[in-house]
Chain A
Amino acid sequence: MTDSSRPAPGREGFAARAVRVATGLLDRPMAALQRLIGGERMAYVFLAPNLLFFGLFVFLPIGITLVFSVTGGTLLFPSERPYVGAQHYRALADCGSYLDPASCREDHFWRGVRNTLVFTAFQMVAMVGTALVTALVLNMKIRARGFFRAVYFFPVLLSPVVVALIWKWILQRDGLLNAALTLSGGQKILFFVEPGWAMFWAVFVSVWAHMGFYTLILLAGLQAIPADVYEAAEMDGTPPLRVLGRITLPLLWPNLVVVLVLVLIRAVQTFDEVFVLTGGGPGTATLMVVQYIYETAFANQVQNFGLAAAASVLLGGLLIVLTLLQLVAARRKAV
């Protein structure tokens, strides 16, 4: 009698032997290390490679930014830059009224803060709302569901610069939208000259470009909701809106929190799409904080790395505060 499930001697046997030899080789030094430092500390050994990269590319830049924010001048190396203390932070905070950017010494920073908050508020509502509705529709048994899932995800694959350029061509004076407007007897609209329109399109393009990603997260959450809960509701004759409010949304809440936090962080960090689409204009109507930081550090004649670093630190602080607030609010709701 032969055992057909048994691996044939040859390739598989060799692979198994190779793995055994490799683990055997690793086993001895690891066992020695474990004896030396103790079993509990071994976790740090396994975390070390990742922490090293994280430290190099995250903690080190944060440290450098903090050093830059308390030094002045235009030189690049921290050791060559004079210490100026909180001068850059004082310059950013020097305001007659924080609600009126024109009264601030660094008015562009505060215009950037105001625009970023407006953008974030509208973008969050529009993004989460649209992504949720799209996910709900795509979760239903509709025709060509796979095709529509792909279509909504497609813009996510595009580079933000490409997205902005495509929409710029559509929205400019002689763009597709104005051509359609004039063909239908309307007047051309200069979308990038009117502050309201410029902000509207900045939000719209951002939602169009990234909605697919958040839809995917919500769709995964919707598919994880057990079908028998819906069957029970159906047998009870629960109306659809009540099903949405009492079953779907509460069970989707963990995914919604993830989406809300990601959308918030991304909205506050917005730069590339809006910069290419509107250039921060008209005037400073769509100038975002990150664009201010970029221009202060790199685009201005005098590259003020210190002021830009101080603004980055404040932006980081703002992000942490907003994320914590959101998480606390989400936890309370969950309780």
Chain B
Amino acid sequence: MNRRHWIAGACLAALMTALPAMAQTTLRMTWYSDGNEGEVMKDLLARFEAKNPDIKVVLDTVPFKAINENLPVQLAAGQGPDIARVVDLGGLSGFALDLRPHLKNAAYWEENFGPFLDWMRQPGNTSAIPGFMTQLTVTGPLVNKTLFEQAGVPLPGAKATWEDWAKAAKTVADKVKAPYPVAFDRSGHRFYGLAVSQGSKMIGADGNPAPIDDGFKRAAQMIADWHSSGVMSKELWGSVSGTAYRGANEEFKNAQVPFYLSGSWQIAQFDKTVGNAFDWIAAPTPCGPANCSGMPGGAALIGIKTTKSPAQVARVMDYLASEEVLSEFYGRALFVPGHIGIARKGVAYKGASPQAAAALKVFGDQVSALDPAAYRIQGYTYSRIVFNAAISRLGQAIAGEGTLAEAYKRIETDVAQQVAERNKK
């Protein structure tokens, strides 16, 4: 064998090695994590790739803020990923890929994700299948039970009102010197967790936003009164401006908050970070004059319509949405399932501590108590415009920049202006 043969052999070997790689499709998935779900997803994708060597999925993990602020710009520029985990389901519906023509069994998707598909569809579209819920979330209170016990204050019961909880939490905070008796995440969605129970509907009879109704005003007045009476600290809602999100999870983890209104997505991280430092529980949503409902929500994994490989995207989605895989995902990430079949059968939350399992049960039970208005608001295409206007203007009123009446006027004009801008052709 001479030198020429060796070179020819080496070239052939290199070509053989390169061929499968050349045939491989690379998909990019934009992802964010609240807890361990990114690790779980990485694991599931590795298994998918092992079974499907012609597809490689690159998981781009970004901060939650980037999902809300950077991703929409990327999508508008046509430079988005192939798949993305998003929370503004209605707002980004225009960029979603209809997976239906590429799916193995569209009926499975309709049967199991049916109620949530409307959240991801464009108004008027009743058939598109843009994706599936990676988690269904419910807003609700997380309570530091240890602080209540130390203060000798009994926990309010299942049908307790917001006023009952506020009074109890203030008593606890005064006794144990906790700086934040009641803490709400600074978010319009969380505010609506209170407003819906006060009777707020957000949507007018003509389908246009009608944010300021009696329920909204009752909730806003309650928040303002709590700030002026020291039930809520201005450090959360009053200390930042505009639509900025400010969570109170760090304060809760540091045992500074007896009553924290957030939601089911906090369970995994509290289970991991609080550990045995104190006992915490999830409580049913307090009742208002209208109902005892919180707000549903969640994140969905959607295909992006600018993808060059829709068939491959659908294969990944089919795999991840399959009952077996999704059930494992919910179970390991400690998420309330957004899949009807899995919800019916129940999820085995492996590795969850007893208190995390109990909290998941409380939030799971809350799903059936959600008011229809809450579902409508969550699926409403303009809901995030209203959420943002509400938090921005109520934040100003709480910081002392104007009255609630002025805030209501501003919310209405902000919403009208943004709706007009969005609809400008």
- A-side interface residues toward B, CB under 8 Å? 72-77, 82, 84, 102, 105, 107-108, 173, 190, 192-193, 195, 278-287, 291, 295, 298-304, 306-307
Q: Name A284's contact: one of B235, B401, B413, B424 (CB within 8 Å).
A: B401
User: Which residues of chain A are within 8 angstroms of B69 by Cβ–Cβ distance?
Assistant: 298-299
B176 interface residue (CB < 8 Å to A): no
**Minimum Cβ distance to chain A for residue B88 (Å):** 7
CB distance from B16 to the nearest CB of A (A): 44
CB-nearest residue of chain B to A73: B424
Report the minimal beta-carbon distance from A164 to chain B, rounded to whole angstroms.
13
Of chain A, the residue at the smallest CB distance from B242 is A295
Among all A-B residue pairs, the 6 with the closest Cβ atoms = A283-B399, A279-B240, A280-B241, A302-B418, A73-B424, A76-B76
Would B244 and A107 count as touching, CB distance under 8 A?
A: no
Contact partner of B234 among A75, A193, A287, CB < 8 A? A193
| Known contacts A72-B424, A192-B235, A301-B418, A280 near B244 by CB under 8 Å | yes
Nearest-neighbor residue (CB-CB) of A307 within chain B? B421
Given contacts A75-B76, A102-B406, A173-B179, contact A283 B421 (CB under 8 A): no
Q: Are B385 and A299 in contact (CB under 8 A)?
A: no
Interface membership of B91, Cβ < 8 A: yes
Q: How many residues of B contact A (CB 8 A)?
A: 40
Chain B residue numbers with a CB within 8 Å of A173 are 179, 235
Within 8 A of A (CB), among B371-425: 384-385, 387-388, 395-396, 398-402, 406, 410, 413, 418-419, 421-422, 424-425
Of listed B72, B91, B235, B240, residue having the most chain A CB within 10 A? B240
Asked if B410 and A282 make an inter-chain contact with CB atoms under 8 angstroms apart, the answer reads no
Q: Inside 8 A of B72's CB, which chain A residues have their CB?
A: 303
Q: A72-B424, A300-B388 are in contact. Are A280 and B77 (CB under 8 A)?
A: no
* Given known contacts A76-B73, A102-B406, A190-B235, A281 and B421 CB-to-CB distance under 8 angstroms: no
> Which of A84, A108, A307 has most B Cβ within 10 Å?
A108
The answer to whether B241 touches A279 (Cβ under 8 A) is yes
| Complex Cα spacing A192 to B418, Å | 30
A284 to B419, alpha carbons, bound, how many Å?
23
B244 close to A279 (CB less than 8 A)? yes
Q: Which residue of chain B has the shortest Cβ distance to A84 in the bound complex?
A: B424
Binding site for A on B (CB under 8 A): 68-70, 72-73, 76-77, 88, 91, 179, 234-235, 238-244, 246, 384-385, 387-388, 395-396, 398-402, 406, 410, 413, 418-419, 421-422, 424-425
Q: A287 CA to B243 CA in the complex, in Å? A: 12
A82-B425, A190-B235, A283-B395 known; A299+B88 contact, CB < 8 A: no
Shortest Cβ distance from A6 into chain B, in angstroms? 49
Give Cα distance in the complex from A299 to B241, angstroms.
12
Name the CB-closest residue of B to A91: B417
Instruction: Report whether B406 and A74 are in contact in the complex, using a CB–CB cutoff of 8 Å.
Output: no
User: When the two chains form the complex, which single residue of A73, A190, A280, A282 contacts B242, counting CB atoms closer than 8 Å?
Assistant: A280
B contacts with A: majority SS: helix
| Contact indicator B238/A282 (Cβ below 8 Å) | yes
> Across the interface, do B401 and A283 meet the contact criterion of CB distance under 8 Å?
yes
Q: B239 and A282: CB pair below 8 A?
A: yes
One of A82, A192, A195 near B424 (C-beta < 8 A): A82
Check A281–B240 contact: CB distance below 8 A.
Answer: yes
Q: Distance in Å from the Cβ of A305 to the closest Cβ of chain B?
A: 9
Nearest Cβ in chain B — how far from A128, in angstroms?
28
CB atoms of B73 and A282 under 8 A apart: no
Within the complex, the shortest CB–CB distance from B238 to chain A, in Å, comes to 5
> What separation, in Å, do the CA atoms of A193 and B227 have in the docked complex?
12
In angstroms, Cα B69 to Cα A84, docked, is 25
Instruction: List, in ascending order, chain B residues with CB within 8 A of A283's CB.
Output: 238, 241, 395-396, 398-401
Q: In the assembled complex, which residues on chain A have CB atoms less than 8 Å from the CB atom of B73?
A: 76, 298, 303
User: Would you call A193 and B239 a contact (CB within 8 A)?
Assistant: yes
Docked-complex contact A282 and B234, CB < 8 angstroms? yes
Bound Cα distance A193, B234 (Å): 7
Task: List 26 A–B pairs whose Cβ atoms lie within 8 Å, in order of A's numbering.
Answer: A75-B76, A76-B76, A77-B77, A102-B406, A192-B235, A192-B239, A278-B240, A279-B241, A279-B246, A282-B238, A283-B241, A283-B399, A284-B241, A287-B242, A295-B243, A298-B70, A299-B68, A299-B69, A299-B242, A301-B88, A301-B384, A302-B421, A302-B422, A303-B73, A306-B421, A307-B421
Compute how far the CA of A298 lies from the CA of B72 in the bound complex, rounded to whole angstroms.
9
* B238 adjacent to A299 (CB under 8 Å): no
B235 touches A73 (CB 8 A): no
Q: Which among A278, A298, A301 is the interface contact of B385 at CB below 8 angstroms?
A: A301
Nearest residue (CB) in A for B398 is A283
Report how far A231 CA is from B307 CA in the complex, Å.
75
Q: Which residue of A lies closest to B422 (CB)?
A: A302
Bound complex: CA A173 to CA B257 (Å): 14
Q: Is A287 touching B241 in the complex (CB atoms < 8 A)?
A: yes
B422 near A74 with CB under 8 A, answer: yes
Please state if A302 and B425 are interface contacts (CB–CB under 8 Å).
no
